Amino acid sequence: MEILESTKASASEILQLVSFMIGNEEYAVDIFYVKEINRLSQITKVPNAPDFIEGVINLRGRIIPVIDLRIKMGLPKKGYDKDSRIIVIEDENILVGFLVDSVREVLRIPKLVIEEPPEMVTSSKTEFISSVGKLEDRLLILIDLKKILSKNEQNQIKEVV
Domains of the chain: 14-160 (2.40.50.180)
29, 85 Cβ separation under 8 angstroms: no
What is the pTM (predicted TM-score) of this model? Answer: 0.83
Residues in the chain with pLDDT < 70?
A: 1-12, 119-126, 161
Q: Tell me, what's the pLDDT at 121?
A: 53
| Pick from 24, 7, 22, 19: nearest CA to 100 | 22
Cβ atoms within 10 A of the Cβ of 124, count?
Answer: 6
Element (H, E) at 10: helix 2-12
Q: Tell me, what's the pLDDT at 125?
A: 56
**pLDDT per residue over 57-77, tens digit each?**
999 899 999 999 998 888 888
